[in-house]
Amino acid sequence: MIKIAVKGLLIILSLYILYVVITAVVLFYVPLKKGEETTSIKPASFFGHRESTDRVRLLEDGYEAGRVRIQMIQEAEKSIDIAYYSIGKGESTDLIMAALFKAADRGVHTRVLLDGIANGLRGNRRGVLYALASHPNIEVKYYEPLQLFKPWAWQNRMHDKIMIVDGELGIIGGRNIGDKYLAKKPPPDFVYDRDVFITNSKHKQDSVITQMQNYINELWAHPYTKKAFHHLTQYQVDQGKRMKALLLQQYDKAKQVGETFATPKIDWNASTVPTKRVSFIHNPIERFNKRPFMWKTFINLAEGANRSVLIQSPYVVPTNAMRKYIAMKKNPAVQWTLLTNSVTSTPNVLAFSGYISMRDKIMKTGVKLYEYQGPYSIHAKSVIYDQRLSAVGSFNLDSRSTFLNNESMVIIDSQEFAKKLTMAMENKMDKSILIANHKRWIKSPDIQKKEEPVMKRTFLYALAKVTRFFKEFI
């Protein structure tokens, strides 16, 4: 009898695994049909002719980026909207969450939208989730929570990182919340990332923050988004109360001793630079393979460049499906430069293994290719066109960002901002190795192997032989 039951369970499990493979993997190899592909925004629409209402600040330093978030929350009067892929652990998270509770306590309506799988609030972090969800002025939702019988929804993640306060202040970029991104004393897994702070300085309706707000509203009301809890048990409410009390105690103590993270005094206008236009773009909110709106927009902007295209991405895995949107002929006068991680610096072995298998093809495009050597790793995602237009946000140079994830970026028309961003990227290039230029190796992978960590290198190159068959998912 037991053998029959075990055999039956094995059959059910086998069928379920087959179901997952077909619906969560095989279906994603079905290409978009002709006519389903969306058009991109025309490059000319990203340029302005006079000073806009939006002023911006490049946030290159993680600690300062955390202080900006804290002050935005502290100044909130009406509303706070947060859309994040992940909320990690650490003192920076604790202080930001406590500031949110303080804002909600004084009547600020707060909406927290998190990715339904990668949100990070599990285990001993669930107390934070309960504290948020049980507060009368805070709503919490998940985008595409884990559904065992809808495996196709597992692939389409909400990778955005956006915060908006009172419809007047905004921040967008590549940073999640946590010490990994915001700590003053970097932990071992620290990453160098990048955000943009935006203030609607003239309080006009044509601010890019309005576009960002509309996107969050669309995500919030979408059928793919679900309430984190329909009902909290008394145990969960009590656990949330205890967590909130601990966080507020930590926050009050930090303010009392004048800890700089908890007591920022930033002049928004003085710390920002003017722009001619700031635009917001995002991927369609769709399941399965999305129409590659953002990727086509980046390609169109690049094809319109006259002098230079400078790209930074932690992961570079261009697939065949991505390459078909790129024109065969490139302007030889345009200098293409690409900065990414190296074997030594990368923390994401899965994504980097995909890059290893594509590195020869990338070299043959003629791009000036830099690999960052450390310390830590780079996680920022940015593009600069002709030292004028700058794109900053969550979009990685890979198939997952192109076809699977919800991603978003701002495109900034400001030569002053582009200059600051170029300096920040060049600073990372100074800690990098130029490995290829003009379709030839400057420092070939074979030579690099002698200088790379043996165990990590061996594992990455072995993994690359496997991941080359499913680059679309890494």
Per-residue pLDDT tens for 179-218?
A: 999 999 999 999 999 999 999 999 999 999 999 999 999 9
pTM above 0.75, yes or no: yes
Percent of the chain with pLDDT over 70: 97
pLDDT, residue 30, reads 82
Section 286-312 average pLDDT: 95
Same fold, 54-256 and 278-473: yes
Alpha helices by DSSP H, 305-410: 320-323, 349-363, 399
Q: Are 204 and 193 in contact (CB under 8 A)?
A: no
3-state secondary structure of 213: helix
Do 324 and 66 contact (CB within 8 A), yes or no? no
Answer positive or negative: Cα dihedral of 83, 89, 92, 94: positive
Residue 264: pLDDT above 90?
A: yes
Q: State the pLDDT confidence band at 5, using cuts at 50, 70 and 90.
A: confident
The Cα 23–Cα 152 span in angstroms is 5
Give dist(CA 88, CA 206) in Å, integer: 34
pLDDT range class, residue 380, cuts 50, 70, 90: very high
**What confidence score (pLDDT) does residue 328 get?**
56
Q: What is the mean pLDDT of residues 313-329?
A: 86
Q: Is the peptide bond before 375 cis (omega within 30 degrees of 0)?
A: yes
Condensed to tens digits (0 to 9), the pLDDT of residues 96-150 reads 999 999 999 999 999 999 999 999 998 888 999 999 999 999 999 999 999 999 9
The helix (H) or strand (E) run that includes residue 11 is helix 2-24
Listed by start position, the domains of the chain span: 54-256, 278-473
Tokens of 287: 């399941």
What pLDDT was estimated at residue 44? Answer: 92
Predicted confidence (pLDDT) per residue in 395-427, tens digit: 999 999 999 999 999 999 999 999 999 999 999
Q: Sorting pLDDT into bands at 50, 70 and 90, what band is 37?
A: low
In whole angstroms, give the CA distance from residue 304 to residue 61: 31
**CATH class of the domain defined by 54-256:** alpha beta
What CATH number is given for 278-473 in this structure? 3.30.870.10
pLDDT digits (tens, 9 = 90+) for 421-441: 999 999 999 999 999 999 999
CA distances from 139 to 100, 162, 239, 240, 266 (A): 12, 16, 17, 14, 28
How many CA atoms, within 13 angstroms, populate the side-chain half-sphere of residue 275? 31
CA–CA distance, 431 with 427 (Å, rounded to integer): 7
pLDDT at 4 (0 to 100): 85
**Would the pLDDT of 38 be above 80?**
no
Residue type for position 179 = D
54-105 confidence digits (pLDDT tens): 999 999 999 999 999 999 999 999 999 999 999 999 999 999 999 999 999 9
Whether residue 160 contacts residue 282, with contact meaning beta carbons closer than 8 Å, is answered with yes
Question: 98 φ, ψ to 5°?
Answer: -65, -40
Model pLDDT, residue 329: 62
Residue 39's pLDDT band (cuts 50, 70, 90): low
